[in-house]
Structure 1
Amino acid sequence: MLFLRGTNNRYRVADEDDVIFEAIQIYNRTFSKGEALTSADKAKDCIKLKLAPFEHEVFMCLFLDNQHRLIACEELFRGTIDGASVYPREVVKSALLHNAAALIMAHNHPSGISEPSQADKVITEKLKAALALIDIRVLDHFIVGESVYSFAEHGLL
C-alpha cells in the first residue's frame, strides 16, 4: 500500500491515478532526451516501465548518440499476444532519421516469460548485422516479462 502526504501533512492512501502520476514523474526524471544511459540497470528500469503494461507485443528502440545519451525512444512495431513482425529496413530507417550512433532494442513478452525465443535471437542477429553496415552499434536487446532479460548480459550480442 502506498501513502502520500496531503496538504495538511497528513497521509492518505494513494489511489490508482496517484500511482500512475508518480510513475510518470519517475519515468520523466530517468528517461529524458539527452540523458546518458550509463548502466544497464538504468536502461532496464526505464524500458520495463514503458513496456510492462502492454497486453500485446511491442518492439521499441532507444536511439543514442556517441556518448550514449538518449536521442529518442520510439515504438516501431506492434503485434499480438504472442508475436510482432520486426522489419530491419524500418529499424535502419529510424536509426538514420535520428542520426543515432548506437541503439538499444527492447520488446515485451505479454506471457511474462522473459527468455528469448529462437525468433528473438534470429531477429537480433539480423538487426545487428544490418546496423553494423551503417556503423550503428547495438548495445543490448531487452525482453520485458516478469523480469528483464538482457542479451548483452547473457553473451548473446
Structure 2
Amino acid sequence: MKTEASLPVKSPKNYVTTRRLTERELFNRACELLEEKLTRGQSFCNPNTVKDFLRFKLAPYEREVFGVMLLDSQHQLLEFRELFYGTINAAPVYPREVVKAVIETNAAAVIFAHNHPSGVAEPSDADKRVTERLKTALNTIDVATLDHIVVGKETVSFAERGLL
C-alpha cells in the first residue's frame, strides 16, 4: 500500500487522497491503477481494453507522443514506454530505439500507439509508413506487431482497419 501523502490510499473499493489533484495527476493515477491491474495477468487481446488504456495514457498530451506496449508471449503487459516526443503534429520515430526497448524487456509482441493532439485520429500516410518500418524491423527478431493505435477524440486501430 502506498503511504505518501500525495498518492491514493486504497480502501476496499475507494481511493482517498490527502490533497486535491490536478487533472493530469488524476489521469496519471488512473493509468497507474489500470496498468497495475493489467500487469497482473490480463492479456491485451481485447481491442477495447487496449484503446481504453492508451486513451488514458496519451489523450491528455498537447504534443504528439509515440509509445509502445511491450508484451510477453501471452500478450500480458510487461511495460508501457513513451519513447518519442514531438510537436503538435509530428514526432520522430526511430526503429533502433524501439528494437532496443523490445530487447531490454524481452518482449514477444508489441502494440504501438501515438496521439493526435488535433483530436482527429485518422492515421496519416506517415503513420502507415512508420508502422511498416517498425513492423519490418521487429520481424527480423521474431517480435509480433499486434496493432498501432492512434488516439484522438476517438481511437483508431490499424488492426481493426486491416492496415497491418
TM-score relative to the length of structure 2: 0.80
- Match for residue 36 of structure 1? 43
- Match for residue 112 of structure 2? 105
State the Cα deviation string for residues 6-65 of structure 1 (Å, max 9, x = none): xxxxxxxxxx73972773575245443654213111011000000000000000000001
Give distance in 1, aligned partners of 2:157 and 2:92. 20
- Match for residue 53 of structure 2? 46
Structure 1 residues 18 and 83: CA distance shift in structure 2, 3 A: closer
**Is the contact made by 2:38 and 2:76 (CA closer than 8 Å) also made in structure 1?**
no
- Match for residue 134 of structure 1? 141
Give distance in 2, aligned partners of 1:122 and 1:28. 29
- Match for residue 119 of structure 1? 126
Which one of the candidate residues 8, 21, 44 is aligned to 1:17? 21
Cα RMSD for the two superposed structures = 2.1
Give distance in 2, aligned partners of 1:28 and 1:156. 27
Indicate yes or no: 2:79 matched with 1:75. no
TM-score relative to the length of structure 1: 0.83
Indicate yes or no: 2:63 matched with 1:56. yes
- 5+ residue gaps in structure 2? 1-19
**Is the contact made by 1:30 and 1:46 (CA closer than 8 Å) also made in structure 2?**
no
Indicate yes or no: 2:90 matched with 1:90. no
Give distance in 1, aligned partners of 2:107 and 2:82. 15
**Is the contact made by 2:66 and 2:84 (CA closer than 8 Å) also made in structure 1?**
yes
The higher radius of gyration belongs to: 1
Give distance in 1, aligned partners of 2:119 and 2:22. 25
Structure 1 residues 29 and 98: CA distance shift in structure 2, 3 A: closer
Other structure's SS at 1:119 match: helix
Q: Which amino acid aligns with 1:64?
A: L
- Match for residue 3 of structure 1? none
